[in-house]
Amino acid sequence: MVYLVKELHRFFMKINKEDILHTGNLELLAKKAVEGFITGFHKSPFHGFSVEFAEHRQYNQGESTKNIDWKLYGRTDKLYTKRFDEETNLRCQFLIDKSSSMQIEHKDVLSKLQYAIWVTAVFTQLLKKQRDASGLCFFDNEINEYTKIASSSRHYKELIYKLEPYLSYKSNQKSTDISETIHTIAAQIHRRSLVVLFTDFIESTRDLEKLFDSIKHLKHNKHEVIVFHTLHQPSELVFDYGNSPMTFEDAETGEKVKLMPNDVKEEYISSFSKYNDRIKSKLNQYKIDYVEADTSKPIEHALIPFLVKRKKMRS
């Protein structure tokens, strides 16, 4: 496992921001990034779901007791296990928040939106190798792009084709409410799927509760949900702005405030830490997998520990 992690780091570290933004071939870069991944892991970190009960069969001594139907045992005094028809191929829907705060750029690093696109490209390449199906949705306060979930090579190329233009996407729109859009998306995903959401959770306290409700809605049809919390650690977690007077502008509302960063740094870090803890606690309460995705670091810092954890869960 240690060797595999080192190999994955080696592949990812060959790719930088300039490569992603200016080569014009996201598919080639994604292939390069996951080279050797399947061979190293042997088993996919993503599995299909057991979706439908098929039949009972008599329990044989020595088998696992996990699927014994104890209610039937109470009625018949005989041991039977439940067998399920399994959906062998995974269905994965990627949801990418493209609101104004996701577009903020920092020197030499990907914006949150660009970061989400790059991670999605790597994931779709991985799923393609496993013959799993994937779909894509870009949204803010409305759905801007929505594809079906499919597994063909032609569909995969279409996803890459739709991802690439958003690497340079800019919007003049300010205030957004993504919660209603997520409710709409949740209502459209009918078959059980893995749902991967990229968002930065830049919301007011009132809107954050609405956002939690909409993310919880994604669980209604027994979807498995993973949230990649995209953030820029130096500016958002550490508040590393020095101590010269600066004007800060809210990316969502356009509101501006001039201040000395060090005057508010301690209070800001404390508040933001509590805000993040609340997000993690809520998602844990809903049994939603949380991944902190720091855009100031290469994506393997978020992706590799997550995939290793998934493999251990599925072993």
Reported as a single tens digit per residue, the pLDDT across 75-100 is 888 887 876 544 457 899 999 999 88
**Is the pLDDT assigned to residue 113 strictly greater than 60?**
yes
From the CA atom positions of the chain, what is the Rg in Å? Answer: 22
Mean pLDDT of all residues in 158-166 = 94
CA–CA distance, 9 with 105 (Å, rounded to integer): 24
* 113 in Cβ contact with 199 (< 8 Å): no
Catalogue all structural domains in the chain, each as residue range(s) with its CATH number: 2-43+89-314 (3.40.50.410), 52-86 (no CATH)
Lowest-pLDDT choice from 36-40, 151-155, 174-178: 36-40
Q: How many CB atoms lie within 10 A of CB 206?
A: 8
- pLDDT for 214: 93
Share of the chain above pLDDT 70, in %: 82
Query: At 1, is the pLDDT very low, low, confident or very high (cuts 50, 70, 90)?
Result: very low
CA–CA distance, 252 with 257 (Å, rounded to integer): 14
CA–CA distance, 291 with 230 (Å, rounded to integer): 9
* 128 in Cβ contact with 89 (< 8 Å): no
Lowest-pLDDT choice from 43-47, 168-172, 195-199, 300-304: 43-47
Query: What is the pTM for the complete model shown?
Result: 0.81
**Is the pLDDT assigned to residue 291 strictly greater than 90?**
yes
- pLDDT for 165: 92
CA–CA distance, 63 with 134 (Å, rounded to integer): 35
Taking 3-state DSSP, the helix, strand and coil percentages for the chain, each rounded to the nearest 5, stand at: 45, 20, 35
**Is the pLDDT assigned to residue 24 strictly greater than 70?**
no
- pLDDT for 66: 76
Query: At 137, is the pLDDT very low, low, confident or very high (cuts 50, 70, 90)?
Result: very high
Q: Per-residue b/e over 235-246, b at no fewer than 16 CB within 10 Å?
A: ebbebebeeeee
Better-scored residue on pLDDT, 152 or 43: 152
Better-scored residue on pLDDT, 203 or 27: 27
- The string of DSSP codes covering 6-28 is HHHHHHHHT--HHHHHHSS-HHH
Alpha carbon distances (Å) from 109 to 20, 51, 87, 281, 294: 11, 41, 39, 29, 10
Alpha carbon distances (Å) from 132 to 49, 92, 155: 12, 8, 12
